[in-house]
Chain A
């Protein structure tokens, strides 16, 4: 289980992009990457999609289900536009 260490810097004007590995209740392992939007004691929110700069698709992941979180440097994000 991950500790509730804060990764999100709300003073940073750039999005914080995170890669999260987590499991479900059947212990199947998943990985996602997206914008870290919210960090609470028991969960985090990762967004995948935005419309006119408003996040519309996201996933709430329980801290207890998280195996790892890595913050991705913006220079390592490929842009396709």
Chain B
């Protein structure tokens, strides 16, 4: 598929921190420019594309974001946070993460992450987990992300596909 139009997208992202004293949390505004195509509920933005000798082209560097990451009313999603959750509870969150790819590791969909931790804070557009342990469950190989456990993980609510109470 030809990608000719240049797009400007604005989106949010998850992040983690090793700060012991967390303070206020908020989601940063991310912005990207490039060529866009969709794959289901994934948005693929290509920064650099390679022009092939047969007239085709392929992505050489880019980003894949869940469509729910877009800062847009159009993509506003139903909140997946159960109303009975309490601060301090042990929970497990399944969520879709943003992926950076290059020609050596081409991807066309987001990673799926599973984070266990203590529910520390619920904000309008994100939740905070304390002492989180995060595993990337898709694609394989399954691995910890990050490898060392951070103090807190801040996850946009729009990324979340499931939450369960574990204890």
Contacts and interface: CB of A to CB of B under 8 A. Distances in A.
Contacts of B91: none
Contacts of B10: 80-81
Contact of B30 (A19, A50, A72, A78): A50
A14 to B, nearest CB: 11
Contacts, number: 86
Nearest to A72: B6
A28 B50 contact: yes
Interface residues of B, number: 29
What secondary structure prevails in chain B residues at the interface with A? strand
Contacts of B49: 30-32
A56 to B, nearest CB: 9
What secondary structure prevails in chain A residues at the interface with B? strand
Contacts of B48: 30-32, 59
Residue of B35, B43, B47, B51 with highest tally of chain A CB at under 10 A? B47
Interface residues of A, number: 27
Interface string B51-65: 100000100110100
A5 interface: no
B25 to A, nearest CB: 14
Interface of B: 5-11, 28-36, 43, 47-51, 57, 60-61, 63, 70-72
